[in-house]
Amino acid sequence: MSKVLYFDYAAFCVFTLIMVSVIMKKMTRGKLNRQFQFVLTIAMVATAFDIGAIAFDNMGERHVVTQYIFHTGYLFFHVVSSAMYAAYVVNIVDAIHIFRGKVKSFILALPTLLCMTMLGVNFFTPCVFSIGGQGEYRREFFMTFLYAAGIFYMILGFMVVTRYHRRLTRGRFVSTIAIFPLVVVAAVFQMFNPDIPIEMFANAIGLLFVALLIQSPEQVISSATGLNKITRYMDDVRNSLDNGLDITVVMITMENDKTLRGILGVEEYHKLLREISEDFLEWSRPYGYDVEWYYLGTGMFRCVMNQRIKDQAEDFAERINEKLKKGYKYNDMFINLLPIICITRCPQDIEDVDSVMRFGGELAEHEYTGRVLYARDIYNKERYDLMRDMDMILEKAFAENRFEVYYQPIYSIDSGKYNSAEALLRLNDDMYGYISPEIFILAAEENGMIHKIGKFVLEEVCRFITGEKFKNLGLEYVEVNLSVIQCMSSELSEDVRAVIERYGVSNEQINLEITETAAAYAQTTIMDNINSLTDYGIAFSLDDFGTGYSNMKRIASMPFAIVKLDKTFADIDTDDKMMKVVKNTISMVKDMNMKIVVEGVETEESLREFSNLGVNYIQGYYFSRPLPQDKFISEVKRVNQS
């Protein structure tokens, strides 16, 4: 009975289509891509040998040498294909380290080595297969071992992927392991039905799943650069750290990325990124699989060097720095790059992927010096540990009542007394101690907890205002800060009104502060909130004026009652030009019928200067720091009742 060939023909066609797709999509760079291409090539070669072997078997004539070559080639590449796919999927979950070491490597390679030995011996003493007098192909005793070797590698890969399945999404996990049952079932079927060779077809279907759902370029490759995406970067760093591996990350951030985009335009900017990326790949080519490149966006490139070559990272980073500093001649223009390069050793310098990401994201804030930086010199572990734990800290702060509202009094120059105060939130954690609002407010904005915090502060202020102690202080109102995220909430106006009405606070006793940054947002929701609350009778202050790049026409059109000059204006005595800026700013604000508060006043000289310039209120350490409620009450009584 002749063997059927159409399964092998179909398999070869599928392999060919996958290979064409891989090449056309440029999925040929990076360790995993090259491994997949190698697995695909081995499978194609095995299928070609199988087609040749079956074709000669079906002739019914004896072509001993040719038949031995084709059958041996098929069996050899079939076993190698199983071993290579197992290695590929182990690398997908970044668990290849569990097979490192001479003993483990030898044990892993042993089935393949024994198969090669048997196939070599088979040329002289048929023990795996033999060719009969009429050219018929017959299996011998040790053929079963070859099948067992292939199944061994499939089971091994399946076990490793299953053990580390949490490193994959559900879709990627299913796609990765789909080939295992396909190939095992096909192998068992073919072992009992040798005239219907379906193994390579099952292999082809499995690799097609992988090509479609795992080796998909839009999931892992940046279209702008051809390098790995940020998601692959995070996965690779996380897996390396989870596995206890030492890696070195060469972080490269173009300090002038935004400027380059503005000058070149989007299309030409992407061409420049592609050229830079090509150079990175070329410069790292001698390192082969030991280096992976990634593009995270906004001019941030990352190079991960594994533990085999980590000691070469310093020289490599220095060479990249020197090459990049030479710039690029691009479309008759000389493009000057300002690369900030930092060598980060993990886990020695940074132990978790979240801190790696945050540290890298803040790299552009460092001043460009032209020198290679080292994370060990600039990384503040305590700060990044704090940022990593902020979600937990905020949850615990609410659960354990660790938030406390402080008040900083605001002095009225006309009355010579405190007329108002600003509410400021403070947080003390049992592990980290005092945590700056600049840190926990930013974290709360990122995780959405800022709305809960804002409501807490407003309720605490309203509770204080309606208390007996507040009534005798002579204060007109208390200022409560709103973050940008709060201002963008469509429920802000309703929430504020609900709290004020629940506590029975007069509208005039609450003043809401928004920063210049928030005011600069041309967003309908923010304006709707401001207009709604203004109509309700609540006044607004513009905080930190002078720190941003506001549209003055827009600010003039908004219903602010008070403008608070940022503390940077307080040093007016140090610069004549600054004095002119301050005078003109104060004059402009007063012409718009707004009151003026100057923040950050610390000296009597500054107080005198601003009094002479006609500002209305002073806030700063000269009078008082922010104080807890009881101390604040004592301070206001000391001044207002003296």
**Together in a domain, 471 and 555:** yes
Residue 312 included in any domain = yes
Please check whether residues 57 and 206 belong to one and the same domain: yes
Instruction: Please give the Cα distance from 555 to 548 (Å, whole number).
Output: 12
What span, in angstroms and rounded, lies between the C-alpha atoms of 560 and 516? 11
Residue 414 and residue 285 share a domain: no
Nearest 5 degrees, angle CA 597-CA 601-CA 607? 85
The answer on 28 and 139 residing in a single domain is: yes
Q: 135 — alpha (psi -120 to 50), left (phi > 0) or beta?
A: left
Q: Is residue 1 part of a domain?
A: no
- Please report the pLDDT score of residue 589 as a whole number: 84
Give domain status of residue 429, yes or no.
yes
Do the domain assignments include residue 79? yes
The domain that contains 288 carries what CATH number? Answer: 3.30.70.270
Determine the pLDDT at residue 262: 83
Q: Which amino acid is at 407?
A: Y
φ/ψ region of 299 (left if φ > 0, alpha if ψ in -120 to 50, else beta) reads left
Residue pair 409/418 in contact (Cβ under 8 Å)? The answer is yes
Q: Which of 238, 270, 260 is nearest to 166 (CA)?
A: 238
**Residue 158, CA atoms < 13 Å, CB-side half-sphere:** 15
At 573 the pLDDT is 59
45: domain CATH number? 1.20.1070.10
What confidence score (pLDDT) does residue 559 get?
A: 84
Instruction: Give the residue among 161, 119, 110 at the shortest CA–CA distance from 140.
Output: 119
Mean pLDDT by 10 residues, the chain (642 residues): 83 90 72 83 92 85 84 90 85 74 80 90 89 82 86 85 78 76 81 83 84 64 82 86 87 89 84 89 85 90 88 90 84 82 91 88 84 86 77 90 94 93 93 86 87 94 93 92 87 92 93 76 77 91 69 71 81 68 83 88 88 90 94 93 77
Using a 10 angstrom Cβ sphere, with 0-12 exposed, 13-18 middle and 19 or more buried, the burial of residue 589 is: buried
CA distances from 300 to 220, 251, 338, 346, 364 (A): 16, 8, 12, 18, 9
If one counts every other C-beta atom within 10 angstroms of the C-beta of residue 141, the result is 9
Please count the structural domains in the chain: 3
Q: In the numeric block, which tokens belong to residue 488?
A: 């963008």
- Both 196 and 250 in one domain: the answer is no
3-state secondary structure 249-264: EEEEEECCHHHHHHHH
DSSP secondary structure, 241-307, as one string: HHTT--EEEEEEEETTHHHHHHHH-HHHHHHHHHHHHHHHHHHTGGGGGGEEEEEEETTEEEEEE-T
Same domain, 522 and 421: yes
* Token pair of 77 as six digits: 């590449």
User: Same domain, yes or no, for 264 and 277?
Assistant: yes
> Which candidate, 531, 532, 593, 526, places its Cα nearest to that of 563?
593
Distance separating alpha carbons of residues 520 and 554, to the nearest angstrom: 8
**Sequence letter at residue 360:** G
Burial class from Cβ neighbours inside 10 Å (0-12, 13-18, 19+) for residue 99 reads middle
Per-residue DSSP letter, 573: G
Q: Are residues 426 and 332 in the same domain?
A: no
**Residue-by-residue DSSP string for 584-640:** HHHHHHHHTT-EEEEE---SHHHHHHHHHHT-SEEESTTT---EEHHHHHHHHHHHH
Same domain, 179 and 301: no
Q: What are the beta bridge partners of residue 590?
A: none
Helix or strand run (H / E) with residue 167: none
Same domain, 166 and 279: no
Range list of H helices, 25-126:
31-57, 64-92, 102-122
Q: Which of 199, 217, 235 is the last residue of a domain?
A: 217
What is the secondary structure of 78-102 as a DSSP string?
HHHHHHHHHHHHHHHTT-GGGG-SH
Q: Give pairs for 132-140: CB < 8 Å, separation 24+.
A: 132/62, 133/62, 134/60, 134/61, 134/62, 135/56, 135/57, 135/59, 135/60, 135/61, 135/62, 135/63, 135/67, 136/57, 137/53, 137/57, 137/67, 137/71, 139/194
Task: Look at residue 245 in the predicted model and tell me its pLDDT.
Answer: 83
3-state secondary structure of 559: coil
| Residue at 394 is within a domain | no
Instruction: Report d(CA 625, CA 525) in Å as an integer.
Output: 34
CA dist list (Å): 14 to 43, 86, 203, 325:
11, 20, 10, 47
Considering the domain architecture, whether residues 41 and 122 belong to the same structural domain is answered as yes
In-domain check, residue 398: no
What is the β-pairing status of strands 595-599 and 560-565?
Answer: parallel
Q: Is residue 562 part of a domain?
A: yes
* pLDDT at res. 621: 92
**Structural domain boundaries, residue 246:** 221-386
**Residue 293: HSE in the Cβ half-sphere, 13 Å Cα cutoff:** 22
Kindly report the number of other CB atoms within 10 A of residue 618's CB atom: 23
- Final residue belonging to a domain, choices 217, 248, 275: 217
Same domain, residue pair 167 and 227: no
Tell me, yes or no, whether 241 lies in a domain.
yes
Question: Which domain-ending residue is among 196, 217, 238?
Answer: 217
In whole angstroms, give the CA distance from residue 428 to residue 278.
49
Global pTM value: 0.61
Calculate the alpha carbon distances from 397 to 14, 304, 385, 406 in Å.
58, 37, 17, 16
Q: Report the distance separating Cα 509 and Cα 527, nearest Å.
A: 22
Judging by DSSP bridges, how do beta strands 510-515 and 477-482 pair with one another?
A: parallel
Q: Angle 506-512-513 (CA atoms, 0-180°, nearest 5)? A: 160
Structure tokens at 159: 């076990």
Q: Give the CATH number for residue 420.
A: 3.20.20.450
